[in-house]
Amino acid sequence: MEPDKDNANPTILNPSDLPSRRRESSVKKREDGGTGLFDDLVSSYNYLGDPFERPVSSSDSDDDSVEDIDEQEIYDLISSISDPEHPLSLGSLAVVNLPDIRILPPTSPHSSISTVVVEITPTITHCSLATVIGLGVRVRLEQALPPRFRVDVRIKKGTHSTDEAVNKQLGDKERVAAALENGTLMGVLRKMLSTCE
């Protein structure tokens, strides 16, 4: 580990403790003759490339496709993002957590716009990379979700020393758009998101 990291010794969650509804099926796979050796190494979220191509689960198979995205799926989309300074996922660092993801339905029957609110928990209160992590989460969701979703990414209250300032930046569409035209920053983001596909 490099000495200048903001948090050289983060708490890391065991992958099997991370929320997933796919665990059952992977267990079944093991019974089917898989070795199980690589289960901890191969991301269990490797279907992330196009998550809306396949039905979420057999019970959801009715034709009402509008509300077929739930918090678990949002979690799956962002938990596999890599931390910019550790070779670990945001899920395993508990930067993103399932209970901190909410999907708000349209505010009017005339509207089809839903809102995804994600609260992120930086590993330490003065983590200077909080903005970059938040940006990664916002970009990942904007790229993966259908455009009817508005994405609001915030720092969980009380977990960061400058959370209001970071929240304001993350909520500013124009700043986000300009950031994505910044080559250096895009390089960092691309690396963070490379573990998602």
Residue 156: what residue type? K
Query: Which of 56, 19, 26 has its CA nearest to residue 42?
Result: 26
Which of 75, 195, 189 minimizes the C-alpha distance to 133? 189
Nearer to other proteins, 20 or 131 (CB): 131
Tokens describing residue 1: 């580990």
Which one, 27 or 104, has the nearer CB to other proteins? Answer: 104
Residue range at the interface with other proteins (CB under 8 A); choices 20-28, 56-64, 81-89, 174-182: 174-182
Q: Which residues sit opposite 120 in a β-bridge?
A: 155
With binding defined as CB under 8 A, does residue 172 bind other proteins? yes
Q: Is 186 in the site for other proteins (CB under 8 A)?
A: no
What is the smallest separation between the CB atom of 112 and other proteins, expressed in angstroms? 6
Measure CA 135 to chain center: 11
- Which two three-digit tokens encode residue 135? 């940006």
Which residues ranging from 86 to 125 are in contact with other proteins (CB under 8 A)? Answer: 107-108, 110-113
Instruction: Indicate whether 143 belongs to the interface with other proteins (CB under 8 A).
Output: no
- Residues 125, 193: Cα–Cα separation, whole Å: 23
Of residues 3, 50, 173, 184, which one binds other proteins by CB under 8 A?
Answer: 173
User: Considering only 12-20, 23-31, 82-90, 170-178, which stretch makes contact with other proteins by CB under 8 A?
Assistant: 170-178
Percent helix, percent strand, percent coil in the chain, to nearest 5? 35, 10, 55
Residue 16 or 143: the one with the smaller Cβ distance to other proteins is 143
184 binds other proteins per the rule CB under 8 A: no
Burial of 42 (0-12, 13-18, 19+ CB in 10 A): exposed
Task: Establish if 54 lies at the interface with other proteins (CB under 8 A).
Answer: no
Interface with other proteins includes 5 (CB under 8 A)? no
Q: Name the site residues for other proteins (rule: CB under 8 A).
A: 107-108, 110-113, 146-148, 150, 168, 171-175, 177-178, 181
